[in-house]
């Protein structure tokens, strides 16, 4: 029977810890990270307590698109993270009129109204305002417009404040899915 020396166990634990750090830390910092939804701003698409995996890689190669659900740093306190849907893209003008959201781009393009029929009518809100976005700014809103602190209250979101997109919903197990909440707006 082979016995292990106590020194061997300690060495193995140290090696395991170092390998884990070399693998886990870069993945957590640059590839994906967990996120737990808090609050009601994205209901019914996302509920408080849902556990998501955030894709941090895609936006290193592609720009965020209208309809993407993103995890972002709150512009007024970057230690706080929010989950919101991208409505307006850089260089666009977002016009809120009642429950309608219209998007314009430059003077030559005809504005179009977003089809947001996927949103629940009782979560919409009469809203008014015109927001012109800079070259690195996005307009984000929650799907539960009555309960959302978003670009309507604190302005445009800078590109650098976007952490990544909601890639995977793991909990609750009854709602597991890839690209949860994804919506493609048609013109």
The domain that holds 139 is classified in CATH as 2.10.109.10
| Other Cβ atoms within 10 Å of 107 Cβ, number | 6
Please indicate, yes or no, whether the overall pTM of this predicted structure exceeds 0.85: no
Q: Is residue 19 part of a domain?
A: yes
Q: Is residue 186 part of a domain?
A: no
For position 2, what pLDDT does the model report? 58
Residues designated catalytic: 41, 84
Domain that holds residue 43: 6-178
Rounded Cα distance, 84 and 45, in Å: 11
Q: Is residue 184 part of a domain?
A: no
Question: Which 8-state DSSP code applies to residue 119?
Answer: S
| Strand ranges for the chain from DSSP E | 32-36, 51-55, 69-74, 77-88, 92-98, 100-105, 112-113, 127-132, 137-141, 157-158, 162-171, 177-178
Q: How high is the mean pLDDT in each 10-residue block of the chain (187 residues)?
A: 63 78 64 85 94 92 95 94 96 94 82 90 89 96 94 96 94 91 78
For position 125, what pLDDT does the model report? 86
For position 28, what pLDDT does the model report? 61
Q: Is residue 183 part of a domain?
A: no
For position 9, what pLDDT does the model report? 77
């Amino acid at each position: 029977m082979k016995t292990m020396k106590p020194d061997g166990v300690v060495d193995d634990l140290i090696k395991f810890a170092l390998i884990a750090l070399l693998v886990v830390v870069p993945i957590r910092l640059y590839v994906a990270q967990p996120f737990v939804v808090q609050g009601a701003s994205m209901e019914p698409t996302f509920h408080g307590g849902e556990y998501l995996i955030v894709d941090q890689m895609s936006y290193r190669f592609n720009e965020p698109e209208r309809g993407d659900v993103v995890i972002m740093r709150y512009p007024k306190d970057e230690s706080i993270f929010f989950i919101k849907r991208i409505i307006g893209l850089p260089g666009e003008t977002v016009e809120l009129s009642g429950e309608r959201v219209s998007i314009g781009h430059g003077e030559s393009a005809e504005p179009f109204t977003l089809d947001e029929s996927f949103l629940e009518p009782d979560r919409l809100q009469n809203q008014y305002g015109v927001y012109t976005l800079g070259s690195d700014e996005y307009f984000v809103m929650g799907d539960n417009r009555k309960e959302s602190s978003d670009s309507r209250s604190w302005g445009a979101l800078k590109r650098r404040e976007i952490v990544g997109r909601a890639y995977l919903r793991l909990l609750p197990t009854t709602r597991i899915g890839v690209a949860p909440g994804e919506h493609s707006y048609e013109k």
